[in-house]
Amino acid sequence: MKVLVNDQLVERDEAKVDIEDRGYQFGDGVYEVVRLYNGQFFTYEEHIDRLYASAAKIELTIPYSKDKLRELLESLVKENNIQTGNVYLQVSRGIQMPRNHVIPDAFPLEGILTASASNVPRNEGQFVAGGKAITLEDVRWLRCDIKSISLLGNILAKNKAHQAGALEAILHRGDLVTECSASNVSIIKNGELWTHGADNLILNGITRQVINQVASEAGITVHEADFTVQDLETADEIFISSTTLEVTPIINLNGQTVGDGKRGPVTARIHELFEKEIERRCGEGALITAK
Ligand code: DCS
């Protein structure tokens, strides 16, 4: 398996990170996870635009042009023969000695790119069967719109969910539901979709954006607006979404059955629309080879 370190493809066990790297020391960096179906990137531009936007928000310069980055990531995909899988890429601010919180004015490096790719099949069983979730107070910082590699708040929430035998932790700030530890959350009430607006309190998921678009086009009313924990608890259907989870139903919340405990009809319809979008963008056979 080969990975990218800056513009070099190297064997995974030969790739090294400097202990003075600010990503390693401070979690000072940004990342993306991009999915491939049938060897084709899905929503590539959206992910890369978000990477550059996250970097700009923390005054970090991505060391490559978008064209060069695409060339590098395509070489990574080709080298590892990725059909249906994920590319993980991150850019750290680079090496600084001695360790200092302050970002130097004349920073010697523009950032260090590392990326890996692996084949990961679609979790089709789970897309239908769904999973459990718990609710937790959202104690993360107030810039969740940045896809930062500093993920302690997310990790602790996800781990609490895991310890409770759940797939995800649905987070709320007081009464208002925000998102999950590593995905967005939407609810269905009276056939309409509700999901938190794209502000500083959530990561504006690319999956969520595609879902909202295809759902609206199909005539489903989409509210990107506040909804409460009580709305969540009384929802007809709940689903979570991310690059790897696609549209995954939540069939149990804090030990209580959601709806009739099965994937609901609107969630099923939305996943079907999402799959059509995958085929539209990645080619007709994309979902067949993705098994
Ligand atoms: N919210 C958070 C906190 C996330 O970490 C993610 C994705 C999302 C929402 C959904 O965003 P996308 O739809 O753009 O994927 N997390 C990525 C991760 O860390 N692994 O897989 C996806």
Q: Are residues 263 and 198 in the same domain?
A: yes
Any domain includes 69: yes
Mean pLDDT of 191-207: 98
| Calpha distance 75→10 (Å, rounded) | 12
111 pLDDT exceeds 90?
no
Q: Give the global pTM.
A: 0.97
Would residue 148 count as lying in a domain?
A: yes
Write out residues with Cβ below 6 Å of ligand 1: 33, 154, 179, 182-184, 203, 205-208, 241-244
Our mutation pick for probing the ligand 1 site, out of 33, 155, 239, counting the most ligand atoms within 8 A of Cβ, is 33
Domain at 275, CATH number = 3.20.10.10
Which of 54-58, 71-75, 254-258, 281-285 bottoms out in mean pLDDT, i.e. has the lowest? 281-285
Determine the residue type at 157.
A
Per the model's pLDDT, the better-predicted residue between 153 and 97 turns out to be 153
Q: Which of 62, 84, 119 is the last residue of a domain?
A: 119
Say if residue 137 is in the same domain as residue 233: yes
The residues, any chain, with a CB within 8 Å of residue 225's CB and separated by 6 or more, are: 194, 196, 197
Domain final position from 92, 119, 146: 119
Please tell me whether residues 270 and 137 are part of one structural domain. Answer: yes
Please report which confidence band the pLDDT of residue 107 belongs to, taking 50, 70 and 90 as the band edges: low
Is-catalytic flag, 31?
yes
Q: Give me the pLDDT at residue 104, please.
A: 82
Domain endpoint, select from 119, 143, 166: 119
pLDDT digits (tens, 9 = 90+) for 35-53: 999 999 999 999 999 999 9
Q: Which atom of ligand 1 approaches the CA of 243 most closely?
A: 15
User: Do residues 110 and 7 touch, judged by C-beta distance below 8 A?
Assistant: no
Which of 183, 195, 212, 213, when mutated, tests ligand 1's pocket best, judged by the most ligand atoms within 8 Å of its CB? 183
Q: Please give the pLDDT value at position 109.
A: 62
Average pLDDT, the chain: 96
pLDDT tens digits along 116-169? 999 999 999 999 999 999 999 999 999 999 999 999 999 999 999 999 999 999
What residue numbers bound the domain in which 57 lies? 2-119
DSSP H or E stretch at residue 44: helix 44-57
Phi, psi of 274 (to 5 degrees): -65, -40
Q: Confirm if 235 and 258 have CB atoms less than 8 A apart.
A: yes
DSSP-assigned letter for residue 101: S
Structural domains in the chain (count)? 2
3-state secondary structure 213-235: HHHHHCCCCEEECCCEHHHHHCC
Give the pLDDT band (50/70/90) at residue 289: low
- Are 261 and 146 found together in one domain? yes
Residues forming a β-bridge with 35: 86
Of 110, 106, 99, the residue nearest 25 (C-alpha): 99
- Flag whether 288 is in a domain: no
CA distance 169 to 250: 11
Helix H or strand E encompassing 124: helix 124-129
Provide the pLDDT for residue 144.
Answer: 98
Residues 70-81 have a mean pLDDT of 98
What integer pLDDT is reported at residue 85 of this predicted model? 97
Predicted pLDDT of residue 24: 97
Residues in the chain: 291
Q: How far apart are CA 243 and CA 36, in angstroms?
A: 10
| pLDDT tens digits for range 205-233 | 999 999 999 999 999 999 999 999 999 99
Co-location of 133 and 112 in the same domain: no
Does residue 129 sit in the same domain as residue 28?
Answer: no
**Residue type, position 67, single letter:** D
Residue 158 lies in a domain: yes
| pLDDT attached to residue 140 | 98
Q: How confident is the model at residue 108 (pLDDT cuts 50, 70, 90)?
A: low
Residue nearest to atom 22 of ligand 1 (CA): 243
